Structure 1
Amino acid sequence: MGRVFIVDLEGKVYSCIHCKTNLTKDQDIMSKSFKIRGGQAYLFREVVNVSTGNKEDRMMITGLHTVTDIFCVGCGLNVGWKYVSQTFLYQKYKEGKSVLELYKIVGPHDSNDLVCQQVSQLMIQ
């Protein structure tokens, strides 16, 4: 494996909660309505500075999806997952998009999300 180059982002940025490595920008949010076991999550068009795990089929609220977990390249924290392929046509818009779990990232969340983020920081410590 070669050297990892970190991409620095500008503007309103979301970063890894542990090492503060930039992951994505506010303008790349596609949806804020994702719910996970740990709380809330956002769907993003593009995410940088992550590595991917193995593909697997995972049953989710919206059905069976082929996904891969994504990990921060700075510290290795599992920050969410990326959709690889979809079975249902109405879910195809998710292919190639990534979900980041809010309790694993820091950034310009809405004011309602700040409480969730603060509670999540306590959970992860």
Structure 2
Amino acid sequence: MGEVVGPRLYSCCNCRNHVALHDDVISKAFQGRHGRAFLFSHAMNVNVGPKEDRHLMTGLHTVADVFCCDCCQVLGWKYERAYEESQKYKEGKFILEKSKIVKENW
């Protein structure tokens, strides 16, 4: 597990594994499966599942679910491909659901 000391970060709500840095938040105005979600430029200590096409609120995307590498809790997804030009900025970025992560070092 990559231990992060000092900066504000987010952890898995189930096992407290560090999964993202607050500095990597791009937007807090996203919607996940279970409510609000944050868009991150990077995530750590996660496993990425198989790619699949999903029709989301902003159109068709190829995404892969993201799991905590310690407890296997589904935390959100990674955007692998956006089919609409206006959504291309999401490619390679991560959605982590607010209900699945907790703040650490705040």
Shorter-chain TM-score: what band? over 0.9
Q: Say if 2:54 is the partner of 1:58.
A: yes
What residue in structure 2 maps to residue 95 of structure 1? 91
Structure 1 range deviating more: 96-105 or 29-38:
29-38
1:21 paired residue number: 17
Among 18, 21, 44, the alignment partner of 2:40 is 44
Shift of 1:105: 0.5
In the alignment, structure 1 residue 35 sits paired with structure 2 residue 68: no
Q: Give the Å deviation of 1:26.
A: 0.6
**Percent same amino acid at aligned positions?**
45
**Greater relative contact order structure (CA < 8 Å, 6+ sep):** 2
Deviation at 1:104, TM superposition (A): 0.6
CA 34–91 in structure 1, closer or farther in 2 if over 3 Å, else same: same
Contact (CA 8 Å) 2:52, 2:62: kept in 1 or not? yes
For structure 1, the 5+ residue unaligned runs are 1-5, 109-125
What is the rounded CA distance, in whole Å, between the counterparts of 2:73 and 2:32 in structure 1? 17
- Greater helix fraction, Structure 1 or Structure 2: 1
Structure (1 or 2) with the greater strand fraction: 2
Give the counterpart letter for 2:3 in structure 1.
D
Aligned residues: 103
Matched, 1:107 2:106: no
The list of structure 1 runs, each at least 4 consecutive aligned residues, that deviate by more than 4 angstroms after superposition, is none
